[in-house]
Structure 1
Amino acid sequence: MAKYHVAVVPLPAQGHVIPAMELAHRLVEQGVKVTFVNTEAIHQKVVTSTWLEKNGHNNLLQMVSIPDGLEPWEDRNDWTKLVAKTMFQSMPSKFEELIETINKEDNNKCTCIIADPFMGWAIRIAKKMGIKRAALWTASNATLAAIMSHHKFIDEGIIDKDGVPLNDQIIQLSENMPPVRSLNLPWGVGDSATIKAAFSLTVGAVEGVKLAEQLICNSTTELEPGPFSFYPQLLPIGPLLASNRLAVQAGHFWQEDSTCLAWLDQQQPSSVIYIAFGSLTMFNQTQFEELAFGLELSNKPFLWVVRAGMTNETTTTFPNGYMERVGSRGRIVTWAPQQMVLAHPSIACFLSHCGWNSTLEGVTNGLPFLCWPYFSDQFIDESYICDIWKNGFWGLTKMKMVSLQKKK
């Protein structure tokens, strides 16, 4: 019988579920019982993965689900509706019922709840029920520092009270933290209405951080010394990579195509461009075709992850005759075992959206980056790569920098 029983509650997005799942497996390996709580839609994707079928941990890892508040036919890509409204109305009561059911068993009581700060209601419920509570921050700590500084940005006239930028400038919290454009702060995800919704979610995450008794993060002091000087209470437990424990990564929403590894085996060392933009990046057809032509004209072998729904068209369409012209020099898959791919000796560089998981995976393998961020924290990660660590390239023009460093 396990001495400890932890409930893990990630935000229902690929980039949050994967590190939370990795943490769950680390806990299980230490003899801790884990109840992993997903929304019903995400639960169905995760539990059907071949990894979970082959590598379960007996009764120590329990995968459960609760409703997200949407009807089965509703669009779960509508984040404004899913996260900012419906999920917060439906999930808290269902989660509390789940914990109450668990705690009816004397030898199975939940002793700790670890939740994504964006699911701050779970941390609030833990406090209400007298259960130990921790927040798991899955993005870079520089991103955390940015959202924790939102009041400062308002006071400095950089954003308004709803998070909308008032001008376009480069800001930097300290000299060893990445600079970022005010237009690209983590909640800057579209038009003003979308920014307001994302900013409201951000403010909620700040409250989640403050409610937690312990704040753990998917990072290291070596990678990000700056944020740790701002927030010494941060406990680094990263990078949360399956490769660190010589295991296959779990938590993917799509089936991995492992046949690309055999293709990589046939390529020369340090010769292949790997292109992957995560689970949410969207291109218009023109951008997609320009990228396709660029890879073709590079005359280099490439492995390109093109998932379903990657463009804003009904179906993703390659340029006329593209497959024939590229031939065996290009390998295109719908999803890849990325940690294995990035560790492969044939990979030369990583063309990435700069999500934090991908950033950690690329940096851990010593790969140079070509950066093409899409939204949210990815611009801060891009700045880490290009401005602080200097192991990648980007195309944004530098602008006048406004320093927000603490006055001495």
Structure 2
Amino acid sequence: MSSSQKPPHVLVISYPAQGHVNPMLEFCKRLVAKGIKTTFATTLSFSKSVTVDKNNLIDFETYSDGFDNNAPGQIVAPDVFFPKLREVGPKSVSDLVQRLNRLDALIYDGFLPWGLDVAKRFGLIGVAFFTQTCAVNSIYYHVNRKLLTIPLSSSVVSVPALPQLKNYETPSFVHKFGLFPAVCDLVFSQFTNIDQADWVFFNSFYKLEEELLDQILTSFNQTR
């Protein structure tokens, strides 16, 4: 990039939970280190209850989940929060994209698959970022694509590139399916439009999940 060119600018939007914010912020730091202008955003309500070590090289913004006026740390029931976030979030992030202007890419948390719709609406590169291990993501993906049927009917679960698992070794939303309907809908719907994403990033160590990552890459390439 010549000195006369502006660096690319990406918007990174995170689901409002510490386990999602932390890895996505670390990723933002790596983007900045590569000379990419980076804006990070999570919900306004969540930002009230946490203190973020604001790297002055990263710009920070917020978007609405519909609960902007809630007191810091106020808990909203999942069956109320998730639908409201899905309803309000896309419009709020769209407003943020328009305000920032001249973005090149939108990197969205896997828990926010509607982020891809926003990216495509504005002609941006759409990038999915999954904060959980690939083993967990693979199981959720197989449920989403009905390659793994729930409720589980067997005591043993087989997923490609993973060892055979006892049903209780799968994520609780799988082996206790039905107890957390709102959360199940959230975690399984992450992969609804994954085939349309321009890029897919996983928060993982290649050597720890090498066989699984290779299998995931092969599957994605076959669907494109």
What TM-score, normalized by structure 1, do the two folds share? 0.47
Q: Deviations over 1:62-107 (max 9, x none)?
A: 1111221124159435233212x1101111101101101221xxxx
One-letter code of the match for 2:8? Y
Q: Deviations over 1:108-167 (max 9, x none)?
A: x1100001121011111101211011111111111111111110122xxxx1xxxxx244
Residue 203 (1) aligns with residue 188 (2) = yes
Residue 226 (1) aligns with residue 211 (2) = yes
The structure-2 alpha-carbon separation of the partners of 1:189 and 1:180, relative to structure 1 and needing over 3 Å to count, comes to closer
Is this contact kept in 1: 2:41–2:61, CA < 8 A?
yes
1:216 and 1:177 map into 2 onto residues whose CA distance is 23
Deviation for aligned residue 1:203: 3.3
Residue 132 (1) aligns with residue 125 (2) = yes
Residue 39 (1) aligns with residue 43 (2) = yes
Give the alignment's Cα RMSD to 1 decimal. Answer: 2.6
The structure-2 alpha-carbon separation of the partners of 1:177 and 1:41, relative to structure 1 and needing over 3 Å to count, comes to farther
Deviation for aligned residue 1:201: 1.4
1:189 and 1:179 map into 2 onto residues whose CA distance is 11
Secondary structure, aligned partner of 1:118: coil
Deviation for aligned residue 1:41: 2.0
2:77 and 2:14 map into 1 onto residues whose CA distance is 18
Matches within 5 A, 1:161-180: 165-167=151-153, 169-174=155-160, 176-177=162-163, 179-180=165-166
Identity %: 22
1:43 and 1:5 map into 2 onto residues whose CA distance is 22
Structure 1 equivalent of residue 61 of structure 2 = 64
Matches within 5 A, 1:9-408: 9-46=13-50, 48-49=51-52, 51-52=53-54, 55-57=55-57, 61-70=58-67, 71-73=69-71, 75-83=74-82, 85-103=83-101, 109-150=102-143, 151-154=146-149, 159=150, 165-167=151-153, 169-174=155-160, 176-177=162-163, 179-181=165-167, 184-185=170-171, 187-188=173-174, 192-194=178-180, 196-232=181-217
Deviation for aligned residue 1:230: 2.1
| Farther off after superposition, 169-178 or 142-151 | 169-178
Equivalent residues, number = 212
Is this contact kept in 1: 2:152–2:167, CA < 8 A?
no
1:123 and 1:203 map into 2 onto residues whose CA distance is 16
Consecutive unaligned residues in structure 1, runs of 5 or more: 104-108, 160-164, 236-408
Following superposition, which runs of at least 4 residues in structure 1 exceed 6 angstroms of deviation? none
The structure-2 alpha-carbon separation of the partners of 1:80 and 1:233, relative to structure 1 and needing over 3 Å to count, comes to farther
The structure-2 alpha-carbon separation of the partners of 1:225 and 1:183, relative to structure 1 and needing over 3 Å to count, comes to closer
The structure-2 alpha-carbon separation of the partners of 1:181 and 1:166, relative to structure 1 and needing over 3 Å to count, comes to closer
1:221 and 1:122 map into 2 onto residues whose CA distance is 26
Deviation for aligned residue 1:4: 0.6
The structure-2 alpha-carbon separation of the partners of 1:175 and 1:125, relative to structure 1 and needing over 3 Å to count, comes to closer
2:29 and 2:200 map into 1 onto residues whose CA distance is 19
2:65 and 2:46 map into 1 onto residues whose CA distance is 10
What TM-score, normalized by structure 2, do the two folds share? 0.83
Is this contact kept in 2: 1:4–1:32, CA < 8 A?
yes
1:180 and 1:56 map into 2 onto residues whose CA distance is 47
Secondary structure, aligned partner of 1:192: coil
1:199 and 1:140 map into 2 onto residues whose CA distance is 17
